[in-house]
Amino acid sequence: MMDKIKLQKEISHYKPEMTSDERLKAYFKGERVDHLPFNLMSLDMAYGMNLGYTLKETDQIENLIEIIKKRCQEYKVYGISEGLNLRAMGYALGSNGIFPENDIDHVEKYLLEDKIDMDLLEMPDPYKNKFLKRKIDNARRLKEKFPDHKISTFVAGPMTVLSALRPIEKLLRDLRKNPKGVKKLLDFVMEANIKWIEVFNKEFGDVGVMIADPVSCDDILSPKQVKEFSFPYLKELTDRIYKVNNIKANLHICGHTKRQWENLKKLQIGSFSVDNCHDLSECKEVIQDKLSLMGNVPPVDVMRNGSVDDVINSVKSCIKKGADNKMGFICATGCATPANSPKENLDAFVYAVQKYGKDAKIGEIPQAVWED
């Protein structure tokens, strides 16, 4: 059994030999690296709360700068990011949000509460829209402070943006009763997302993009609805991001997605991040000829509520199931790391990847995972 004290002693034996950027680049070139690439999604929020900040304070730029400095020093995880979470474009377009001190933001009043009314929408200019301009200013500040770090951004998928403009139960009804209105709205938010990507590219050059699209999961949309309202718009979004950015986006969809795995290979994406509700090995068998795989340590049951041993065992299981993906594997959480995850569980994740993902090479399961 591993406790916090023993974990700290064990961690001292594993010092990364590469930065996260160096590792990722070398790994996808086919070179052997010190250990598998990893991604604790939303790490800065969880790390920041463990430093004593409230969740809301982690979003303040000067606090974020301090958080990044410290996580770089401790975990050697380099890279900065600024973008649009699941509800951000909705706020930019006019929905009103509540931003609690220690909880996730949520929409209080939807712009399109009563009906889909295109006259209520104005295409946002990221340089002039108050909500988006703050994010561009923050990104500039981060790049100024960390000039050697790669910067990336993120957007919500078109269907998910709609859910921040119109209540989900009304939106799902609209899919049946007002499909033309939904498609007009999807076209609009597509252009809004692309404007954000174009401005980010203008400011920082070609950058990585993560798309999160939970509303497109099989738990919410039927196969017919995915085919009509989700996939074509994800296809257009990923095509256009690639055209603007010269880098394929990555995609995460919360929830069940098995019915869509084959079609996801038709998107201009580099990797698919699979939710922990799925078995990594099952997803791997379908997508590995086209896509790299990310996943999928359970964020709530393991990262937030589990023990140090639970985290270590989950990371080991993910490595065994996913690391031989032909197009590559990034050991990651199955969704955003809960902000109130204990520090020892963040440490345990990093430790387990360093130990059991040692001497990694694309398409191979590291020998170290079998040795303990």
Can you tell me the distance from the alpha carbon of 340 to that of 261, in angstroms, rounded to the nearest whole number? 31
pLDDT at 99 over 90: yes
- The two tokens of residue 203 are 């400011």
pTM of the model: 0.97
Domains of the chain: 1-55+291-372 (no CATH), 79-274 (3.20.20.210)
DSSP state of 223: H
Q: What is the mean pLDDT of residues 201-222?
A: 98
Contact 111, 94 (CB under 8 A): yes
Can you tell me the distance from the alpha carbon of 220 to that of 225, in angstroms, rounded to the nearest whole number? 9
Measuring CA to CA, how many Å separate 34 from each of 13, 41, 111, 356?
13, 21, 49, 11
Can you tell me the distance from the alpha carbon of 113 to that of 148, in angstroms, rounded to the nearest whole number? 44
Q: What is the pLDDT of residue 15?
A: 87
- The two tokens of residue 165 are 């403009």
Can you tell me the distance from the alpha carbon of 83 to that of 252, in angstroms, rounded to the nearest whole number? 15
Report the sign of the C-alpha dihedral through residues 252, 257, 260, 265, in that order. Answer: positive
Can you tell me the distance from the alpha carbon of 255 to that of 257, in angstroms, rounded to the nearest whole number? 6
Query: Mean pLDDT of all residues in the chain?
Result: 98
Q: What is the pLDDT of residue 3?
A: 86
Give residue for tokens 């590995």.
Answer: 288
Measuring CA to CA, how many Å separate 129 from each of 125, 173, 221?
6, 30, 32
pLDDT at 21 over 80: yes
Backbone dihedral angles phi then psi of residue 294, each to the nearest 5 degrees:
-125, 140
Can you tell me the distance from the alpha carbon of 274 to that of 334, in angstroms, rounded to the nearest whole number? 6
Residue, of 372 and 255, whose pLDDT is higher: 255
Can you tell me the distance from the alpha carbon of 197 to that of 209, in angstroms, rounded to the nearest whole number? 8
Q: What is the pLDDT of residue 372?
A: 72
Can you tell me the distance from the alpha carbon of 195 to that of 153, in angstroms, rounded to the nearest whole number? 13
Q: What is the mean pLDDT of residues 221-231?
A: 99
Q: Please tell me the least confidently modeled range out of 2-11, 193-202, 353-362.
A: 2-11
For 24-54, the pLDDT digits (tens) are 999 999 999 999 999 999 999 999 999 999 9
Q: Name the burial class of residue 19, with classes exposed (0-12), middle (13-18) and buried (19+) by CB atoms within 10 angstroms of its CB.
A: middle
Q: What is the pLDDT of residue 4?
A: 87
